[in-house]
Copies of this chain bind each other. A is one copy, B any other.
Amino acid sequence: MHSPTLSGSTQLDAYRPLFLPTLLIGDSRLGGISSTISAYESLSLRGYIVDALLLFREDYYQNWEYLTSYFVEKGVPVVAIPPPPARLPSNEEDMFNLESYYKGISESKSSELSEVIAQLTKRHKSRLDELDSMPSRTHTQIWWPFVQHSFMHPNPGSIAVIDSAHKDHFSIYGDHHAPGSDDAGLLLRSQFDGSASWWTQTLGHSNPTLTLAAARAAGRYGHVLFPQSTHLPALSLAETLLAGPGKGWASRVFYSDNGSTGMEVALKMALRAFTRGHPAEGKPGGDRAKKLGVLGLKGSYHGDTIGAMNACDAGDGVYTCEWHDSKGFWFDPPSLVIRDGRISIDLPQALRELASRGGVSEEGFVWTGAKGSLNAAYDVGGRLGTALAQVYREFIEHSLDNIKIEIAALVLEPLVMGAGGMVFVDPLFQRVLIDVVRSRSPLVKPSTQGRWSGIPVIFDEVFVGTYRMGHQTTSTVLGVHPDIAVYAKMLSGGLVPLAATLAKEEIFEAFVGGTKDQALLHGHSYTAYPIACEVANETLKQIRMLAQSEGWKEAASKWTGGVSPNEAAKVWSFWDPEFVDELSRLESVKEVMTLGCVLAIKIDDGGRGNNLQTSIRSLREAHAFLRFKDTDPPLHRRSWVPLGTQILTRPAPTLLVFTSVLWETSGISSPASTPNVKSLLKSRRGSSRF
């Protein structure tokens, strides 16, 4: 079970990618009940399906008897076979004796071994039947998030049946005849998890260390209620977060269940802090408090609960619903892109005109084969004195002067707006925006006795935080701290949901008072549930080790070889610079951009979507083993982009986004030893093939 293999890990972990049918051989000796159950639990912890338990029908300890009833509820059939005969003194007699023993237990159709074999066949068949029926059962009973069901079909291949997952691959059933696949005929196919399962995966699927962390907390606490109490997993995590992304500014951690609820909490904190500092705005629940607005960027996304939605621009009206009531003002931001090997800034119309009137050049940065210029573009501190910064400043000041609504918070996804279209916002614009907002509203007015009185700055780091962008917090790159920040997704290792909202002590103090109604009256039943906190603690521990690893340093050095104005703030990507450069020069590719684990590719389809197939084919020529599943309209659904890859056709051109797990633990090799990212786009084999 757990005997070491040559790779250093134990057999259970080493063989896990194969996800083989499992027959557990139990122990009929003294102590065998214990070792058999423990073995079963070790198998379960790694997701193995135990199809049957086989052991000797030993009559003194009768382990089989206890184990048979023990495993009834677990659905594992126990088969006991007669033990082998005692050894005879004569070799010849012994051989004869054994031979007849083997015949006895195997040849008869009613023998126990036949029963086992029949059992295995039956379970295998029913497993296949189950897998076969899953698409149609899903098609009629499941209501998916974000899916237009009229585009879906119950036939195999339309709905991905995920039989298991390991590291950065799904094991998918039922797509036996996928065109272009070189493993046609296999029942299970390994498929790259194109979006790291909506950006949640950190150390890869089914990581045994994280599973054990979850099990440990489940076994010690289950869930325990949190108000007025404490437990070690939640407290340790809070301390790690305050010493990590919260270092230098945050003093409090509030837990909730996902990025959207974490943002609702952040917004409640910010709005209340603002109104406590500005009592004239009226009390909570009052009409004026209902109309307070936020500042943000167009294209931002903070989750799908109504409060989080209200902090986003309604945009083109696609991502909206009946109660959605956007409250705020959103800037159209400049963004960074790589085209034909050059990094440049795309300025929106208004800014371009302003820059042009002011005689400011477009300040493109030439990106010369992976060296330096990415870090020049992200050298926020160094760029603060440029003419473009001044243009940003004037533009923002002017806009703020003309906003009619009361602004109570600034809400940003720092560096990258993920769900809104993977927009790599010019970090200089975000930095100037924060600086201007803070200069207009002093953080703490002396007259209010230390009470908060400014406009709080919220960083939504749900997508970009916890090392997705290569940094534990993007504050390091922007060079400023928020007043409130939210973490989720990768935080809990891609296993279970958890969000943490961090806040400055002054924000917290806005809720401290003599009555309960001044408190933050928000909470979810499973707040700070020990499993998620323990998994997050383990995840952050593993990432800290990775961040110190040679592999990471080497990958980073490929991007930071040149300019490194501020060592701690340097940016880098897990994707190889040569590959990114090559991609950006492809005719079918309009632009690319990358940071950390994310690679975004915009495909030039002339805005019509017609050339999409052609473009995708070009990518395939670049050895990209892609499977196209997520598009709208359905026309393209059978093409070649990994499941989960984010594909946006609105706004045109089409955008493909790949997100990987943190590679070094994702198995095959470190980014340093796989400099050719093409081989990563090419699906890695290993699962379900042997």
- With CB as the reference atom, state the residue of chain B lying closest to A283: B317
Establish whether residues A164 and B514, one from each chain, have CB atoms under 8 Å apart when the complex forms. no
Establish whether residues A259 and B3, one from each chain, have CB atoms under 8 Å apart when the complex forms. no
Contact of A235 among B33, B142, B145, B518 (CB under 8 A): B142
Q: A198-B525, A306-B305 are in contact. Are A228 and B147 (CB under 8 A)?
A: yes
Question: Chain B nearest CB: distance from A93 CB in Å?
Answer: 28
> A325 to chain B: which residues have CB within 8 Å?
290, 325
The complex places the Cα of A333 from the Cα of B35 at a distance, in Å, of 59
> A267 to chain B: which residues have CB within 8 Å?
323
Establish whether residues A148 and B494, one from each chain, have CB atoms under 8 Å apart when the complex forms. no
> A260 to chain B: which residues have CB within 8 Å?
261, 305, 524
Establish whether residues A223 and B307, one from each chain, have CB atoms under 8 Å apart when the complex forms. no
A:13-27 near B, CB below 8 Å? 16, 19
Establish whether residues A323 and B38, one from each chain, have CB atoms under 8 Å apart when the complex forms. no
> A469 to chain B: which residues have CB within 8 Å?
none
> A210 to chain B: which residues have CB within 8 Å?
218, 222
Contact digits for A458-496, partner B, Cβ 8 Å, 1 yes 0 no: 000000000000000000000000000000110000111
Q: A10-B37, A44-B219, A257-B497 are in contact. Are A235 and B138 (CB under 8 A)?
A: yes
Q: A218-B214, A223-B494 are in contact. Are A521 and B319 (CB under 8 A)?
A: yes
Question: Chain B nearest CB: distance from A444 CB in Å?
Answer: 19
Question: Chain B nearest CB: distance from A599 CB in Å?
Answer: 18
Establish whether residues B230 and A38, one from each chain, have CB atoms under 8 Å apart when the complex forms. no
Establish whether residues A44 and B216, one from each chain, have CB atoms under 8 Å apart when the complex forms. yes
The complex places the Cα of A254 from the Cα of B304 at a distance, in Å, of 14
Contact digits for A271-310, partner B, Cβ 8 Å, 1 yes 0 no: 1100100000000110001101000000000011111101
- With CB as the reference atom, state the residue of chain B lying closest to A522: B304
Question: Chain B nearest CB: distance from A118 CB in Å?
Answer: 23
Stretch at the interface among A45-53, A548-556, A576-584, A613-621: A45-53
- With CB as the reference atom, state the residue of chain B lying closest to A263: B305
> A314 to chain B: which residues have CB within 8 Å?
285
Interface size on A, residues (CB 8 A): 167
Is A105's CB within 8 Å of the partner chain B? no
Establish whether residues A526 and B235, one from each chain, have CB atoms under 8 Å apart when the complex forms. no
The complex places the Cα of A523 from the Cα of B305 at a distance, in Å, of 9
- With CB as the reference atom, state the residue of chain B lying closest to A203: B222
Q: A212-B41, A524-B497 are in contact. Are A408 and B322 (CB under 8 A)?
A: yes
Q: A47-B220, A142-B234 are in contact. Are A513 and B251 (CB under 8 A)?
A: no
> A322 to chain B: which residues have CB within 8 Å?
268, 271-272, 275, 284, 289-290, 292, 408
Establish whether residues B39 and A219, one from each chain, have CB atoms under 8 Å apart when the complex forms. no
The complex places the Cα of A193 from the Cα of B226 at a distance, in Å, of 12
Establish whether residues A205 and B230, one from each chain, have CB atoms under 8 Å apart when the complex forms. no
Is A195's CB within 8 Å of the partner chain B? yes
Establish whether residues A229 and B47, one from each chain, have CB atoms under 8 Å apart when the complex forms. no
Contact digits for A245-275, partner B, Cβ 8 Å, 1 yes 0 no: 0000001111101111100100110011001
Is A598's CB within 8 Å of the partner chain B? no
- With CB as the reference atom, state the residue of chain B lying closest to A322: B271
Is A447's CB within 8 Å of the partner chain B? no
Is A95's CB within 8 Å of the partner chain B? no
The complex places the Cα of A630 from the Cα of B519 at a distance, in Å, of 14
Q: Which of A141, A314, A494 has the most CB of B within 10 A?
A: A141
The complex places the Cα of A221 from the Cα of B524 at a distance, in Å, of 26
Establish whether residues A145 and B523, one from each chain, have CB atoms under 8 Å apart when the complex forms. yes
Q: Which of A33, A143, A253, A489 has the most CB of B within 10 A?
A: A143
Contact digits for A36-71, partner B, Cβ 8 Å, 1 yes 0 no: 111101101111110000000000000000100000
- With CB as the reference atom, state the residue of chain B lying closest to A630: B228
Is A208's CB within 8 Å of the partner chain B? yes
Question: Chain B nearest CB: distance from A658 CB in Å?
Answer: 14
The complex places the Cα of A253 from the Cα of B260 at a distance, in Å, of 20
The complex places the Cα of A60 from the Cα of B501 at a distance, in Å, of 53
Contact of A306 among B11, B200, B221, B306 (CB under 8 A): B306
Establish whether residues A37 and B42, one from each chain, have CB atoms under 8 Å apart when the complex forms. yes
Question: Chain B nearest CB: distance from A230 CB in Å?
Answer: 4
Establish whether residues A525 and B199, one from each chain, have CB atoms under 8 Å apart when the complex forms. yes
Is A232's CB within 8 Å of the partner chain B? yes
Q: A165-B224, A306-B264, A525-B198 are in contact. Are A216 and B520 (CB under 8 A)?
A: no
- With CB as the reference atom, state the residue of chain B lying closest to A316: B517
Establish whether residues B632 and A317, one from each chain, have CB atoms under 8 Å apart when the complex forms. no
Is A690's CB within 8 Å of the partner chain B? no
Contact of A45 among B41, B143, B146, B232 (CB under 8 A): B41
Is A110's CB within 8 Å of the partner chain B? no
The complex places the Cα of A303 from the Cα of B265 at a distance, in Å, of 13
The complex places the Cα of A42 from the Cα of B216 at a distance, in Å, of 10
- With CB as the reference atom, state the residue of chain B lying closest to A158: B228
Is A28's CB within 8 Å of the partner chain B? no
The complex places the Cα of A520 from the Cα of B147 at a distance, in Å, of 7
Contact digits for A579-603, partner B, Cβ 8 Å, 1 yes 0 no: 0000000000000000000000000
> A197 to chain B: which residues have CB within 8 Å?
222-225, 525
Contact of A3 among B3, B31, B211, B292 (CB under 8 A): B31
Is A436's CB within 8 Å of the partner chain B? no
Contact digits for A1-12, partner B, Cβ 8 Å, 1 yes 0 no: 111100000110
Q: A317-B285, A323-B271 are in contact. Are A141 and B205 (CB under 8 A)?
A: no
Is A516's CB within 8 Å of the partner chain B? yes
Can you list 8 contacts pairing A with B, beta carbon distance less than 8 Å? A142-B253, A148-B515, A148-B518, A159-B228, A165-B220, A200-B525, A303-B524, A318-B516
| Known contacts A284-B324, A496-B531, then 8 further A-B pairs from the complex at CB < 8 Å, ordered by chain A residue | A41-B42, A49-B220, A160-B230, A205-B221, A260-B524, A261-B261, A303-B524, A318-B516
